[in-house]
């Protein structure tokens, strides 16, 4: 039913935590396969993928390219882009299944996506909680046909998630009730940098500045 796409830059602990949280859904048949696209040279990542029965792909350094590669390698009709270090609540599979069945029944697979409620641990600042990422940046569920019709992830470093979510639009994005627990290892997009640069990018996105302009300023 669902293919999970995990892009990583070599954080083994974050990856293992997320994979462990997916085991119950895989046992229920909700998760069909998991694709790990690795942008690091950490030899431990392919070993983790093999041990967990996941597909492993060596990817480029650009995060948006890793996400696109993962989507192409996935086998299921539904794609769940999940960030390593994010651990879904045990209720997520039920909510995701209900959303998929309802969307299929109404013939809306090509025009609906879903995001999850977020629960942050104490390692995140107030700024990160409020402005760190848009809905869907830590976990976005979307049918392959809708994803392709939107053009997938564009080459917009640091803001590719924001760009895709904006193209989906608030009226076509369903908020599921089950939470995703965002650990401190998930952090925010590392490509944003830190300190003043991160605050500037997040502030511009909050003000709805076009993503292409923000990506240009960032680069």
Confidence of residue 96 (pLDDT cuts 50, 70, 90): very high
- Please determine, looking at this structure, whether the domain spanning 2-188 carries the CATH number 3.30.450.30: no
Bridge partners (DSSP) listed for residue 140:
81, 115
Q: What is the reported pTM?
A: 0.86
Look at residue 139 and give its three-state secondary structure.
strand
SS (H, E, C) 11-44: CHHHHHHHHHHHHHHHHHCCEEEEEEEECCCCCH
User: 24: which residues sit within 8 A by CB, 6+ positions away?
Assistant: 90, 93
The domain limits of the chain are 2-188
pLDDT in the model for residue 192 = 47
Confidence of residue 219 (pLDDT cuts 50, 70, 90): low
Residue 126 CA to residue 33 CA, distance in Å, equals: 35
Residue 38 CA to residue 11 CA, distance in Å, equals: 10
pLDDT digits (tens, 9 = 90+) for 7-28: 999 999 999 999 999 999 999 9
pLDDT digits (tens, 9 = 90+) for 174-209: 999 999 998 877 754 454 455 556 566 666 666 677
pLDDT digits (tens, 9 = 90+) for 115-152: 998 887 655 444 454 445 556 778 999 999 999 999 99
Q: What is the mean pLDDT of the chain?
A: 86
Q: Is 158 in contact with 97 (CB distance < 8 Å)?
A: no
Look at residue 181 and give its three-state secondary structure.
strand
Q: What tokens does 189 get?
A: 């997009």
Q: What tokens does 136 get?
A: 């869907």
Residue 4 CA to residue 34 CA, distance in Å, equals: 5
pLDDT in the model for residue 19 = 97
Confidence of residue 33 (pLDDT cuts 50, 70, 90): very high
């Amino acid at each position: 039913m669902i293919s999970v796409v995990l892009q990583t830059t070599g954080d083994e602990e974050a990856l293992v935590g997320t994979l462990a949280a997916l085991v119950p859904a895989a046992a229920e048949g909700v998760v069909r396969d998991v694709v790990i696209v690795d942008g690091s040279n950490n030899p431990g990542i392919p070993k983790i993928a093999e041990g967990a029965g996941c597909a492993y792909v060596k990817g480029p350094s650009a995060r948006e390219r890793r996400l696109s590669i993962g989507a192409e390698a996935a086998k299921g009709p539904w794609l769940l882009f999940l960030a390593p270090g994010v651990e879904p609540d045990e209720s997520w599979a039920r909510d995701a299944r209900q959303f998929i069945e309802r969307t299929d029944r109404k013939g809306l697979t090509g025009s609906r996506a879903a995001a999850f409620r977020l629960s942050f641990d104490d390692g995140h600042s107030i700024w990160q909680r409020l402005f760190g990422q848009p809905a869907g940046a830590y976990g976005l569920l979307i049918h392959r046909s809708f994803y392709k019709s939107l053009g997938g992830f564009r080459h917009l470093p640091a803001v590719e998630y924001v760009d895709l979510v904006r193209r989906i639009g608030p009226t076509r994005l369903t908020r599921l009730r089950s939470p995703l627990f965002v650990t401190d290892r998930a952090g925010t997009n590392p490509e944003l940098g830190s300190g003043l640069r991160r605050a500037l990018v997040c502030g511009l996105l909050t003000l709805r500045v076009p993503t292409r302009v923000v990506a240009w300023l960032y680069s």
